[in-house]
Amino acid sequence: MTNIRKRVVITGMGVLSSIGRNVPEFKQGLLDKKVGIKPSEIYSEYFAGAYASEIKGEVDYPGLDPDLITKLDKGALWGYRVGREALEDGGLLDSDLKKKMGLMVGVSAAGTEAYLPFIMNKPEETNLDMVKYSGSYASICPLVASLLKLGGGYELVATACTASPNAIGLAFDAIQNNKGDVMMALGSEPLYIPTFAGFYALKAMADGPCTPYSNQPGMSIGEGAGAVIVEEYEHAKARGAKIYGELLGYATSSDAYHETAPDPKAVGSSWAMRTAIENAGLKPEDIDYVNAHGTGTDANDRSETLAIKKLFGEGTTPPISSTKSYFGHNIGSAGILELIACLVTLPEKKILPTLNFGVARTYADIDYVPNDFREKDVNVFLKNNYAFGGNNSCLVVSTKPGTIKQTEFNPQRVVITGIGSVSSMGTSNSEFASGFTDGGAIPVPREMKVELESEEAKQLPLDENKMLHYRSHMVKPFNARKILRSIDAKKLNNISLYALVALEQALKSADYKVVKTAREEIGMIMGISKGPTNTISRLCESLAPDPNNVRTSEFAMSLMNSIATQCAIAKGIKGYNTTLSSGVNAGFGAVFQGYEVIRQNLQDYMLAGAADEDGPGLAPLMSFGNEGFSYDDTDNSYHVYAKDDKGYVMGEGAACVFLESHDNAIERGAHIYAEIMGYGRCCDHIYFSQNSTPQTMADAINMALTEANLSAQDIDMVCGTTWAGKYATNMELNGIKLALGDHSQSAPLTNYNGYFGFVEASGGLLNLAGVIHGFKDNIVYPILNTTEFSVAGLNYVTANALEIDIKYALVTGMSEGGNCYALIIKKGA
Amino acid sequence: MQEALKNTIDERNIVIDEVKKVLIERLNLYQEPQDIDEDTPLFGSGLKLDSVDATEVVVMLDMSFGIKVEEGTDPSFMRNINQLVDFILERKRATEAAAAEAA
Amino acid sequence: MNGLLALHKQHAKELTSVNGIEVPKQYNDLDKEYTALRHNVALSDYSHYSKLKIEGEEAFDVLDLAVAGDVAEIRDEQTLYTVLLDLDGSIITDVYVMNDDDSYVVLSEHLDDATLMNLFKDRMGEFEDVEMTSLTQSHAIVAMEGPYSWELAQEIYGMDVIGIPFLGFIALDDDTYIFRAGKHGEFSYKVILPVADAEALWKEIEEKGVRYELVKAGLALHELTRLENPYFSPTGSGSVSRDPRELQLQWMVRYDKDEFLGRERLLEKRDEALSKKIIGVVLQQEGEIEAICVGDSVVCGGEEIGKLVACRYSPSLKKMIAQALIDEAYAYAGIDAYAIKTTDGVEFKVNTTATPFINNHSMLINPNENSFVNPDKFRNMLEQLEAKQAEA
């Protein structure tokens, strides 16, 4: 059976940039060749000769309560502003379509603003409201979804400088799989001191406005935001939408080369372009123009020039130009702003020039469209972006929707043929499995000194020495070399180490080896919540008092994408690569996206994982105001779903699954653990309220059932994964009840968090791993510790393992921001 | 050993120890100070530092020794520990000489 | 006799047999060879290196046990430069370990094929899934070396050559590698290839090398270059010490690795007081002085504090340079209070110094910017900088 890929078009746009605060202004700024890169007042205080493209002065936020504005960080506010403009532009601001509209966000330095006072050693400036609302990395997603009332669920792509184009790619894939007709993709990147300091100390900055490919090398940093409405073509036409362009295809890849430097051989970047063009059903000669990443640094400009020459052949390269010469490098929002810049100028038969072009550098010997607009009728163009760690991304876009032949693909059945985990239950599949029969790991006693004088601190059960005692599920020390052998584990931080150990096991259980001749046939996606917290805190500690002393060696490793890129480097995995830092249960997002990639037959193999490391000690205090953290110092204090909810016990670890097509698995004789039948994702857009809306979870489950072509009665077991607290518990349990109806009274329901603790990003996948391990003997392991449950009328598995025939299992979960996930898997043969 | 020689060696030793200490701390090296010989190369082989680490060495010189490395300085002072130490001592002497002249 | 050797027999000044393999000892005048290596391009035949391919699931484990460095540090197309130790923790030889997609190629110039093979075989005992093949006879090594060797190599093999980092390599196919590593501080590309292909490559390099003023060179040259840029040398410093600490080669071993041959003694010795250490000394006066030889004393205030273990005249510095094994308390660079005392009792004042002794010309060249043959580009970064300043 062959599917014709849907046409996906762009039907709304919004921008915020130094050269324009809405799309018409932005367009005029481009046509006027306005350079928004100026001496920076804010950063000149710390850094000599600081230049940046900045959003200066007040920014208005139409439709927002002024009181609320003070509580949110700029990332969320700008995201709201450009998102709103895009909706308005697309005639969707008051549309019912928003209820099912998904949101794909791309950012790099998110969640920074609330903590700046701590970082810069000015705690008196702390805005507690901001910490509460905008204090987590992913908070931009629920905030923008709530403020714009988007209910289709969200993901946060955190691949640094490729984040926003990659987010557009996710929206494209979701539409291909009927997960929505209209989606929003946005990038929002206010500039904060850690990013500025990092690039400055790396000596990557230009002395003035950057001059890509010419004169002195160096980049200019910038800030801004952009949003696009991504819509299925027929849907857009039917509602008479304005259409700006067609997204023909995209690709991402990994250099698998170095933490910061691009591969000088430009293998990954040229492969991303080639694959994106192939995915769009085209050939290099069909490309009329390339909007380059073009940062202006030697490393980028050189390797990108080489990549383009390798792809198109010397002497036959199309015109390329860098829009960063206008408004600098906007990091997470760079790609989306550059795409919009193309979409407002190319239809007028004008190619954006590379501004500030002087004497070409020695290696710069292709057509960079220097300084003046080029009159040319461009239909198909590429939008390149590259990031630290070797994340490459390429979008293939047409300015004339409907003119390029649609591509076809054979939708693949997607199976899980490998699995791995790291947790307090151990570092191998056998330890993990026996952990279930042994009744889980015992959380270890922890303590920390609390010397705060606040009201909240007085509520804490401190002992006479002001010590706070609590428990956590820690990964026991292990000999990484025994498992990873030829990989240098000593260089890795804990979170990357855990991720890599889980990945190694997944590869091993899949009986798959990444070989040199086929590095591009396998990709990976990592789900992240708090990320490399210890590295982040070392980086932040080095910023005060003088941010010139920033620890550059921690800079790249503090980024959320560093875990996936470190894994890719260690194993030589060069295919599709992304990081979804959507918060709690981000691992689900990773599996969903891995599934989409295999389903569309874009890669042969995908690894989807998630990882978490125990933080530098503040975590128990960060939970102030959150219901949920358990201060109980006993072995069995974690009572999931309990009537008398004592809160959660934290855990750390990682999980990973190996995905491939069913046909492929059969052909190579792989053992199939499970088949992915379908998934659903929705969000409740009520971030400012703590009232659950179980219907949101029910919607996600129904979406998964629809895709799986199953009914509630077909579900043989349910595994929930929420951690604690009324909000999450109600949402999950009542959502299951709503979706499964009467069947929820008989379908066995479990939740494995009690075995290994609440592991933020990885918890969902660790539960999934538990379900799959249970498949072997048709066993559902019991919920630990809990005897009385908060929601009645469900068939909880307690006390003893239950032996039943299992065919289909439903795994549910949610994020702290109200994103609901549902996944249906079928037991393997 | 003559007094003057002893002083020269002591002065050098203090700088060597400090350089090793801060390199280990800042670059998360696995070595103990005594495991790093003074002729150990910093880049390529030896300590196997890379271009990112080079910026850390520059920051280290500023933070620990008050030495600002100007753009365009011949980077060969970073070739190994000994050359780094030579560079620090040279700069120190130049500063002392300038101060003496000013006074 | 293979074609390349026949060619050498015809053209080289002198041949020598190392590890049982005949290679050129000298092609031209040493001065000419030296200038080419330090300023242009020299072409050499290093086929005398013993070459061992180690493959199989447990190849890593065998190597991990055998060498003192950490093989886990290297990924595909990267090389570890490390040492093999004996049970006493003393260095047997230095080796290159190249990771070719989790197969390994080991190169050693100081041990013959059988000895190298046996050293690894001794360590193979408990492993089954390992296969070792000698490439010593089947493969030649043709080397392009010198500040512009990258440019010549690029002409032959394409632009990816420039992207090869130090100690990196490209596997052209299962049988041919372009390996960037040298023991003299200049750019160096060793092409490891089947013997049958070596003659043609040699000729191609010779031909294409003309405009780089390429000079063919032999092994004798390196007795000098390796003193200017000290490396492990069994006949130089290695003749008086095989102790990584005394040789300042601790960076070639990993104390924190779980298990490898010689580790126990190495760790014991690490905690013992060090009595002597190799350091570099350079004469304060210019010129070649024949009276200075290996074995001469190094003195301080009339007292002997050490002995010379290697010495030569450095054309780059125009001074005599030497390595000396010095009492630890005196073994510091940057000291001007010592002298070399020759057998006739004459004293020559020296400075102790960091090694390498010389600033290699290759450090001034950025392959991405400079060129020897392209008149539109500057030959090195210094010229580039001066031009820029003149412009300003």
DSSP A216-233: S--B-EE-EEEEEEEEEH
Q: How far apart are CA C145 and CA C147, in angstroms?
A: 7
pLDDT over threshold 50, residue A529? yes
Per CB-CB distance under 8 Å, the chain A contacts of B47 are none
Q: Which long-range contacts (CB under 8 A, 24 or more apart) does C176-181 make?
A: C177/C98, C177/C100, C177/C105, C178/C153, C179/C79, C179/C96, C179/C98, C181/C79, C181/C81, C181/C96
The reported pLDDT for the residue numbered C392 is: 77
Nearest-Cα distance to chain C for B99, in Å, is 23
Integer angstrom CA distances of residue C117 from A104, A171, C92, C124, C131: 57, 57, 14, 10, 11
Q: Is the pLDDT of residue C382 over 60?
A: yes
State how far residue C13 is from chain B, nearest Cα, in angstroms. 34
CB contact set of A239 (below 8 Å; sequence gap of 6+): A91
Confidence tier at C389 by pLDDT (50, 70, 90): confident
Q: Are A641 and A791 in contact (CB under 8 A)?
A: yes
Q: What is the pLDDT of residues A704-719, one digit of tens each?
A: 999 999 999 999 999 9
| ipTM here | 0.95
pLDDT, average across residues B16-45: 94
Interface partners of chain A (CB pairs < 8 Å, 3 or more) are B, C
Enumerate the H helices of chain C as residue ranges: 3-11, 30-39, 59-66, 113-122, 149-157, 195-208, 221-228, 263-271, 381-391
Say if the Cβ atoms of C71 and A486 lie within 8 Å.
yes
What are C380's two structure tokens?
Answer: 């090195």
Q: How confident is the model at residue A270 (pLDDT cuts 50, 70, 90)?
A: very high
Looking at per-residue pLDDT, the higher value among C387 and A206 belongs to A206
Confidence band of A362 (pLDDT split at 50, 70, 90): confident
Give the Å distances, CA to CA, from A161 to A107, A210, A305, A781, C185: 8, 17, 18, 43, 37
Residue C1 has pLDDT above 80, yes or no: no
Q: Which residues of A touch C61 (CB under 8 A)?
A: 485
List residues bridging with A650 in a β-sheet.
Answer: A472, A758
Query: Domains of chain C, with CATH numbers?
Result: 3-49+137-224 (3.30.1360.120), 50-134 (3.30.70.1400), 273-359 (2.40.30.110)
- A141 counts as catalytic: no
Over residues A709-736, mean pLDDT: 96
Exactly one of A141, A210, A235, A293 is catalytic; name it. Answer: A293
**Band of residue A625 on the pLDDT scale cut at 50, 70, 90:** very low
> pLDDT at residue A407 above 60?
yes
pLDDT at residue C205 in the model: 98
Buried b (16+ CB within 10 A) or exposed e, C190-204: bbbbebebbbebbee
Our answer to whether residue A293 is catalytic in this structure is: yes
Comparing C-alpha atoms, which of C46, C58, C53, C55 is closest to residue C22?
Answer: C46
pLDDT digits (tens, 9 = 90+) for C328-380: 999 999 999 999 999 999 999 999 999 999 999 999 999 988 999 999 899 99
Question: Does the pLDDT value for residue A339 go beyond 60?
Answer: yes
C-alpha C152/C-alpha B8 separation (Å) is 47
B45 touches chain C (CB under 8 A): yes
Q: How far is B59 from chain C (nearest CA, A)?
A: 22
Q: What is the average pLDDT value for chain C, to the nearest integer?
A: 95
Tell me the chain C residues in contact with residue B41 when contact means C-beta distances shorter than 8 Å. 251
The proportion of chain C whose per-residue pLDDT surpasses 70, expressed as a percent, equals 100
Q: Which residues of C touch A363 (CB under 8 A)?
A: 368
pLDDT tens digit string along A46-105? 999 999 999 999 999 999 999 999 999 999 999 999 999 999 999 999 999 999 999 999
Which of A202, A548, A549 minimises the CB distance to B52?
A202
Q: What's the distance, Cα to Cα, between the start and end of chain B in Å?
A: 33
Point out the catalytic residue in the list A235, A329, A473, A773.
A329
Residue A462 DSSP symbol: B
Q: Do B83 and C354 touch (CB under 8 A)?
A: yes
Q: Which strands, in side-by-side order, build the sheet including C50-55? A: C78-85, C91-100, C103-108, C50-55, C131-134
B12/C contact by beta carbon, under 8 A:
yes
pLDDT digits (tens, 9 = 90+) for A274-327: 999 999 999 999 999 999 999 999 999 999 999 999 999 999 999 999 999 999
pLDDT (tens digit, 9 = 90+) per residue, A750-781?
999 999 999 999 999 999 999 999 999 999 99
Chain position carrying tokens 């000291």? C335
Chain C nearest-CA residue for A267: C160
C258 contacts in chain A (CB < 8 Å): 479, 481
pLDDT score at A624: 45
pLDDT of residue A290: 98
The whole-angstrom distance between C39's CA and the closest CA on chain A is: 22
Answer whether C162 sits within 8 Å of A572, measured CB to CB.
Answer: no
Contact A618, A726 (CB under 8 A): no
The model's confidence at residue C123, banded by pLDDT at 50, 70 and 90, is confident
The Cα angle at residue A441 between residues A440 and A447, in degrees rounded to 5: 140
Across the strands, what pairs with A384? A394
Out of C99, C159, C258, closest to residue A481 by CB:
C258
Question: What is the percent of chain A with per-residue pLDDT over 70, rounded to a whole number?
Answer: 98
Catalytic residue among A141, A161, A210, A656: A161
Residues A635 and A440 sit within 8 Å (Cβ to Cβ): no
pLDDT band at residue A615 under the 50/70/90 scheme:
confident
Chain segment A139-193, per-residue pLDDT in tens: 999 999 999 999 999 999 999 999 999 999 999 999 999 999 999 999 999 999 9
Cβ atoms of A82 and A15 within 8 Å: the answer is yes
- Contact in structure between A753 and A640 (CB atoms under 8 Å): yes
Q: According to the model, what pLDDT value does residue A633 have?
A: 84
Question: pLDDT-derived band of residue A618, with 50, 70 and 90 as boundaries?
Answer: low
Beta bridge partners of C99: C78, C104
The confidence score (pLDDT) of residue A619 equals 57
Contact between chains at B55 and A261 (C-beta distance less than 8 A): no
- In this prediction, residue A425 carries a pLDDT of 98
Annotated catalytic, A161?
Answer: yes
The closest of A114, A171, A119 to A143, measured between CA atoms, is A114
Say if the Cβ atoms of A265 and C368 lie within 8 Å.
no
Contact by Cβ (8 Å): C18, C111: no
Provide the CATH number for the domain formed by B3-102 in this structure. Answer: 1.10.1200.10
Q: Decide if pLDDT at C198 tops 60.
A: yes
Interface probe, candidates A257, A265, A311, A500, chain C, greatest C C-beta count within 10 A: A265
Domain chopping of chain B, boundaries: 3-102
Tokens representing C322 are 């030497």
Domains of chain A (ranges; CATH) run 8-408 (3.40.47.10), 414-827 (3.40.47.10)
Report the DSSP pairing between strands A808-814 and A819-827.
Answer: antiparallel
With a cut of 90, say whether residue A478 has pLDDT above it: yes
Collect all residues with Cβ–Cβ distance below 8 Å to A320 and sequence separation of at least 6. A289, A290, A291, A292, A294, A308, A366, A367, A368, A369
User: Chain A closest CA to C353's CA: distance in Å?
Assistant: 30
Asked if B4 and C255 come within 8 Å (Cβ–Cβ), the reply is no
pLDDT higher at A30 or A646: A30
Average pLDDT score over residue span A228-240: 98
Mean pLDDT across the stretch A674-678?
98
User: What's the pLDDT tens digit per position in B38-89?
Assistant: 999 999 899 999 888 998 999 899 999 999 998 778 889 999 999 999 999 9
Mean pLDDT in residue range A407-429: 97
**CA of C210 vs chain B CAs: smallest distance (Å):** 30
Of B5, B35, B76, the CB nearest to C335: B5
